Chain A
Amino acid sequence: MTAHPFSAADSASTSGRAVTPSFWSRLWTRDAPGYLFLLPWFIGFFGLTLGPMLTSLYLSFTDFDLLTSPNWVGMDNYTRIFTADPKFAASMRVTFFFVIFSVPLKLAFALAVALLLNRGMRGLPLYRAVFYLPSLLGASVAIAVLWRQLFAGDGVVNDFLAIFGIEGPSWISNPRYSLWTLIVLSVWQFGSPMIIFLAGLRQIPQDMYEAASLDGASKARMFWKITLPLLTPVVFFNAVIQTIDAFKSFTPAFIISGGTGNPINSTLFYTLYLYQEAFGFFRMGYASALAWVLLAIVAAFTGFSFLTSKYWVHYDE
């Protein structure tokens, strides 16, 4: 491992034998090391990302079923998705509902707790650890299993409500509430955006607040005029990351609904529907088309966020 491929080139360039190095030796000394260091990444990028992406784009125009070779069907898959697939429509509704409610709620909790903790509370490390723990564990199947029990008809939540004389429904198996149990699970994991908010709050210069309070500004005014504007880059980062994560969420819905997305498709996340089509029915061509629709949605969302960010995100450079 100590004999490295660059030693020859390096000594050639420093020995001064070649006063004007040729194109090839420049290529070797200047560009080759970078590309060699990137070699594993290049193999992964072309072999596992770009190649498969293009293949799945091709497959999305076919009827590929994993067993027989794919036949070209033109736009059929996409036409069916947008005009004749009630399950696609249902999974879109579920996914957007989940994103629209879970992300803002999660960020609001994260910011509120971060603001509270940032007031120089004693015991900050302990609180921070307690609030962070769920976001570390939350992706696990074990937590989804636990959630299924907590919100069952005879679960802990209803035991708790019974103390106040409320008879709760079976949250998991009632289509009106089932998706909300997943939203609660997501909000429960507000710890990691909270940590990022805390770090962001630390970077706001204290003298700005001192100056503002000398001018007689109220706490609320300082929040709206100093804290929030200076925190917008962090809000933006958190919002983008959490939204993309929410679109990709799979495990909780899969475990809680037993892989079905029921009751009556109320937890049929888009990713779950795609999984069913691909690995339940082996409609690989159709599932590829679904994947590209998802990519288009995520790309449109990301592009939109970055384009609009210059109107509300405050960058000081």
Chain B
Amino acid sequence: MTSSAPRLTVVTGADDSAARWRKRALSTASHAALIIASILMLYPLLWMLSASFRPENEIFSSSTLWPSSWSLDAYVRGWNGLRVSFGTFFLNSFIIAILAIIGNLATCSLAAFAFARLEFRGRSFWFALMLGTLMLPYQVTLIPQYVLFQGLGWINTILPLVVPKFLAADAFFIFLMVQFFRGIPKELDEAAQMDGCSPWRIYWKVLLPLSTPVLATAGVFTFIWTWDDFFGPLIYLSDIRTYTVMLGLRTFVDSTAQSDWGGLFAMSSLSLLPIFLFFLFFQRLLIDGIATTGMKR
């Protein structure tokens, strides 16, 4: 390959410069297309952000992204726009998200360890069932779950949103962790087992310390999905003091939005900020996590 290449360039010298020119043109065109697409993709987000900093009378009158004067009024108005301040909603959302992360990491990794590393009868049967729950529309379990949680007196508490996470209810993360655990050399477990390590010690001392990437990925996704969750809080939380940020936004839309778009956009932008920060700092993890789900079987 390397020996024949120079000869070829000499023979086809004229064609080659034309081809190179064409290649450069193509590359420029591709970049142009991608840049235009990027702007189109980001424009709505930037517009909302800029609208949240504008004086109220300027939100719809100007379509430029840069406000003529910057103002934090909308944030103050929005923060106190409802009977209960958004501070409460943010706090509620954070508490739910953090408990969800703890629950998911603890119980999904236990289940994944059993599926990936332990030999026991019925393993493939239960594994198939676990994968089956990935496809299950939540509506099929919704009403009995609601009746159950209502019977337990859990309505208007965070328990219906948090307790399932401590029962490894997010099969996606079990699947993600199984994939990762399978990539860790089995010789490590076997050596530990020779030394008399119990399964628990292998899980705790050998596998988990090597699994920080997948644990971080699962943690970040749990945060984002719990933060964004709208349906669960909508069903289980009706007292405004227990609201999450998403419910607060929805109430804002229904009550005052027509008169206070600025406040609404300010709170909307603020609600996206935690997700954006996670994206900024854990981009690599998120992208790798998404990529692996589709690759290995």
- Interface set, chain B 149-207, CB cutoff 8 A to A: 164, 166-169, 174, 196, 198-201, 203-204
Which A residues contact B (CB, under 8 angstroms)? 1, 4-7, 10-11, 14, 30-35, 37-41, 43-45, 47-49, 51-53, 55-56, 59, 64, 66, 113, 116-117, 119, 121-123, 127-134, 136-137, 139-143, 145-150, 154, 156, 159-160, 188, 192, 195-196, 198-200, 203, 233-234, 237-238, 244, 247-248, 250-251, 254-255, 258, 271, 274-275, 278-279, 284, 287-288, 290-292, 294-295, 298-299, 302
Let me know if B37 is at the binding interface, CB within 8 A. Answer: yes
Residue of B nearest to A315 (CB): B297
Decide: A136 and B279 in contact? CB cutoff 8 A. Answer: yes
Chain A to chain B contacts (Cβ below 8 Å), 10 pairs: A4-B199, A6-B198, A31-B120, A44-B164, A133-B279, A149-B265, A199-B295, A203-B295, A234-B295, A244-B135
CA distance A267 to B203 in the complex (A): 48
For B255-275 the 0/1 string (1 means CB < 8 A from A) is 001000100110111011001
How many residues of chain B have a CB within 8 Å of chain A?
91
Name the contact of B44 in the complex, choosing from A51, A150, A290, A295 (C-beta under 8 A): A150
Let me know if B98 is at the binding interface, CB within 8 A. Answer: no
Chain B residues, CB < 8 A from A37: 110-111, 113-114, 118, 199, 203
Chain A residues, CB < 8 A from B33: 116
Residue of A nearest to B261 (CB): A149
Chain B residues, CB < 8 A from A143: 272
Residue of A nearest to B30 (CB): A116
Decide: B271 and A142 in contact? CB cutoff 8 A. Answer: yes
- Which one of B9-17, B66-74, B209-217, B284-292 is at the interface? B284-292
Residue of A nearest to B194 (CB): A14
Known A-B contacts A41-B107, A195-B287, A298-B135; A141 and B143 likewise in contact (beta carbons under 8 Å): no
Let me know if B148 is at the binding interface, CB within 8 A. Answer: yes
Known A-B contacts A43-B167, A48-B169, A116-B33; A142 and B141 likewise in contact (beta carbons under 8 Å): no
Chain B residues, CB < 8 A from A192: 290
B273: shortest Cβ distance to chain A, in Å? 10
CA distance A234 to B290 in the complex (A): 12
Name the contact of B271 in the complex, choosing from A41, A141, A250 (C-beta under 8 A): A141
Known A-B contacts A34-B119, A41-B107, A136-B224; A146 and B48 likewise in contact (beta carbons under 8 Å): yes
